[in-house]
DNA sequence: CAAGATTGAACCCTCAATCTTA
DNA sequence: TAAGATTGAGGGTTCAATCTTG
């Protein structure tokens, strides 16, 4: 029958899950320890500051992060409570602008080096010696296209 | 300087994050849709039923899943509320036994085929044609060693 | 009306503090 | 006491229902 994974399939699945979980939590933990910013915090702030120059339409931000509206809304509420961003009525045509506060701008500037170090440490360095082209091609196939 | 990732590094990081997130959410969504079981639900039930024969020491279960005690305790509370498991004083030496209810046993039996289908669809099939040995080796390097 | 945004409920995870009991 | 377990608070995510407003 067809309703059970073979041991080899199961093995690859477990190895994949372990690696994905491992990289995710370690990078997040390093950045959090160094800067107090979570992964979503960092994502929001880098986009608002580097792409938007400090201000960005909320709907555009959600789109660029692949977030649903409600997810971003909940997250911005928490970030607003911590003083990292502010919400203002959008300049043109309705909607809301997300604005990075001084605290937010400083935090993301602080976090950038820690982010680079963490990504190198937990993703890039363990892969030294691997065929990165092939790895990248495999990873690309796994990303959702839709 | 050293505090910024190169475009190529950043690119691999984004591709990795996207793939990891994508596989995780799609497999979880398929199983949830087919059976109403979340990934942690499925993990708990398969271990209790297949390894423990329907009953397992809570501390042993936490250990085998790589869960902290509090994480498992919170999760079991939710599963108990949904009637999937019960908690009983352990047979020997103190502690607690987790017991799969009839509902729990039936649910995991139902879920097994859906799990196999989802893993094949979202991980195995996209990788057809890749060098699985090399991929597996790369993935193994990313798993936490500690 | 329809797009943009918010809210509430339920689920999930972590940390630190607190039982409980062999 | 120390191992096993629980609890509460706070952050994170999803879904569906509900504003709000151009």
B70-120 pLDDT, tens digit per residue, is: 999 999 999 999 999 999 998 878 899 999 999 999 999 999 999 999 999
Q: What is the pLDDT of residue B93?
A: 80
Q: What is the pLDDT of residue B103?
A: 95
Say what the pTM is. 0.88
Mean pLDDT of chain A: 92
Mean pLDDT of chain B: 92
Q: What is the pLDDT of residue A1?
A: 59
Whether A141 and B130 have beta carbons less than 8 Å apart is answered as yes
Average pLDDT over residues B132-146: 87
Average pLDDT over residues A27-33: 92
Whether A114 and A35 have beta carbons less than 8 Å apart is answered as yes
Q: What is the pLDDT of residue A146?
A: 47
**pLDDT tens per residue across span A106-126:** 999 999 999 999 999 999 999
Residues of A near B (Cβ–Cβ under 8 Å) read: 2-5, 9, 12-13, 15-20, 22-24, 26, 112-113, 115-116, 119-120, 122-124, 126-127, 130-132, 134-144
Rounded CA–C1' distance between B126 and C1, in angstroms: 42
Q: What is the pLDDT of residue B1?
A: 60
Above 60 in pLDDT, residue B146?
Answer: no
**pLDDT tens per residue across span A38-73:** 999 999 999 999 999 999 999 999 999 989 999 999
> In A, which residues are within 8 Å of B3 by CB distance?
112-113, 116
> In 3-state terms, what secondary structure has residue A56?
strand
How open is the CA angle A34-A22-A35, to the nearest 5 degrees?
A: 10
Q: What is the pLDDT of residue B42?
A: 96
Q: Of B44, B43, B63, B70, whose CA–CA distance to B55 is shortest?
A: B44
Cβ-based contacts under 8 A for chains A and B: 117
Whether A98 and A48 have beta carbons less than 8 Å apart is answered as yes
Above 70 in pLDDT, residue A99?
Answer: yes
Q: What is the pLDDT of residue B145?
A: 61
Average pLDDT over residues B122-135: 94
C-alpha B67/C-alpha B90 separation (Å) is 19
More confident: B106 or A146: B106
Instruction: Using a pLDDT cut of 90, give the percent of chain B over it.
Output: 82
> In B, which residues are within 8 Å of A132 by CB distance?
12
DSSP alpha helix (H) spans, chain A: 7-35, 39-46, 58-65, 69-81, 102-119, 132-142
**B40 is written with which tokens?**
């942690």
């Amino acid at each position: 029958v067809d309703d059970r994974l073979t041991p080899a399939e199961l093995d690859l699945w477990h190895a994949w899950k372990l690696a994905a979980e491992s990289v995710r939590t370690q990078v997040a933990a390093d950045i959090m320890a160094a800067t107090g910013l979570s992964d979503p915090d960092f994502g929001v702030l880098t986009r608002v500051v580097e792409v938007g120059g400090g201000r960005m339409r909320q709907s555009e931000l959600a789109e660029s992060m692949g977030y649903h509206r409600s997810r971003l809304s909940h997250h911005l509420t928490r970030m607003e409570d911590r003083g990292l961003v502010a919400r203002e009525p959008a300049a043109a045509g309705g909607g809301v602008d997300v604005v990075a506060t001084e605290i937010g701008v400083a935090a993301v500037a602080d976090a950038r080096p820690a982010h680079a170090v963490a990504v190198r440490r937990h993703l890039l360095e363990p892969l030294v010696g691997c065929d990165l082209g092939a790895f990248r091609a495999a990873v690309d196939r796994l990303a959702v296209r839709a």
